[in-house]
Amino acid sequence: MFIVKYRKFFYALSVLLIAGSVAALWLWGLKPGIDFKGGSIIEVEYASSTRPVISAVQPSLDKLDLGEYSIRETGAEGFIIRTKELAPEAHDAVIGVLKVNGANLTEKRFDSVGPILGEEALQKSWMSIALVLLAIVLFITFAFRGVSRPVKSWKYGVIAIIALAHDIIIPAGVFALLGHIAGIEVDTLFVTALLVVLGFSIHDTIVVFDRVRENLKHNHEGKQKKSFDVIVGESINQTFVRSVNTSLTTLIAIFVLYLAGAEATRHFSLALLVGIAAGTYSSIFLGSPLLVTVYAWQEGKKA
C-alpha cells in the first residue's frame, strides 16, 4: 500500500525525469550516427604504446577530401574516425595516414552506409517502434478482455503505453544529453535497445496487471469487500521482490557487458541500462498506481 498511498510522489518524480528528457531532446536532439545519416566509421588499434597523438595525424587527415570528420581515442590504443561515405581509395588513404611513422595498427572495424540507406533505416526504425506499441495495446486489450470492472481492459493497454513512453523517452533524453556533451551518436543498435526495453518493460507491467486481475477474481469469488486501491497495493507488494530481483540480475549482466564488452556495443549496453532501470521503475511505481488514479477519476473521486 505504500506505493499506492504515495503515488503522487512517484508521479512527480516521473514527470520530472520526462520533462528533463523532453527538454534535452528539444534543445539538442539525438545525434544520428552513420546508420541514419550515411557515412563511414573506421576503428583501428595500435600495437602496444605505438598510438600517435591526435595532433600528429590530424594535419594529414585535413589534407584528404573527408568533408566534416571526427577522430577520437578509444580504449588505451585505438582511434575511431567518422567521415562521410568513403570510396575504397579514400579509405586506403585514411589508413595510410594513420600509419604515421610506420606505426603497426590493426583495422578492427570499417562500416560504410550511403545516405539513402541511412534514411531508409531511420524510417524503418520509427515504424518498428510504432508497430510494437500498437501490438502491445492490442495484446493487452485482448489478454485482459475478461476484466471489465472496475477498470475496462482497454484502459490497461493505454496505461501500459503511458508507462512504455516513459521508458523510452528517458533513455532518449539521456542520449540527447550525452550527444551534446560527449558527441555520442545513436544508431540502429540504439533502436534495438529501445525495442528490447519495450519488451522487457511490458513483461514486468503485465506481471503486476495479471496479479491485479487474479486478486480481483479472488475478491469477487470470496465475496470480500476490499477496495480497488487495496487490491492494487497488495498486488504490487506480491510482485515487488520478483520484479526487483529479475531486473537487478539483468542490469548486473548488462553492466558487465558495458564495462568489459567491445567498444561497438558500449552505447547499446548503456541504452539498455538506462531503459531497463526506467522500465522497472515504471512497472512498479507508475503503471499499477495509474490504475488506481484512473479508477478514482471514473468514479468521480479525488485521485
- Tens of pLDDT, residue by residue over 234-274, are 888 888 888 888 889 989 999 998 888 777 788 889 999 99
**How confident is residue 276, by pLDDT bands cut at 50, 70 and 90?**
very high
The cell numbers describing 35, all together, are 546508420
pLDDT in tens, 206-233: 888 888 888 887 877 766 777 878 888 8
Report residue 247 as a C-alpha cell. 531486473
Residue 76 has pLDDT above 80, yes or no: no
Across residues 68-81, what is the average pLDDT? 79
Higher pLDDT, 58 or 166: 166
pLDDT of residue 303: 56
Query: How far, CA to CA in Å, does 217 sit from each of 142, 222, 241?
Result: 17, 8, 23
**Listed ranges 20-24, 55-59, 72-76, 128-132; the one with the highest mean pLDDT:** 20-24
Of the candidates 138, 116, 136, 134, the residue with the CA atom closest to the CA atom of residue 126: 134
pLDDT in the model for residue 62: 83
Q: Is the dihedral of CA 202, 208, 214, 216 positive or negative?
A: negative
Q: Among 190-204, 216-230, 271-285, where is mean pLDDT lowest?
A: 216-230
Instruction: Give the pTM.
Output: 0.76
Q: What is the pLDDT of residue 278?
A: 92
Q: In the block, which residue shows the cell 598510438? A: 51
Nearest partner of 67 among 99, 34, 44, 106, judged by Cα:
34
Q: What is the mean pLDDT of the chain?
A: 82
Model confidence at 143, pLDDT cuts 50, 70, 90, reads: confident
CB count, 10 Å around CB of 272? 28
58: cell is 590530424
Whether 35 has a pLDDT exceeding 80, the answer reads no
* 16 band by pLDDT with thresholds 50, 70 and 90: very high
Instruction: Report the pLDDT value the prediction gives residue 302, as an integer from 0 to 100.
Output: 57
Distance, in Å, from the CA atom of 136 to the CA atom of 154, rounded to the nearest integer, reads 11
More confident residue, 118 or 239: 239
pLDDT attached to residue 172: 92
What is the structure's pLDDT at 147? 63
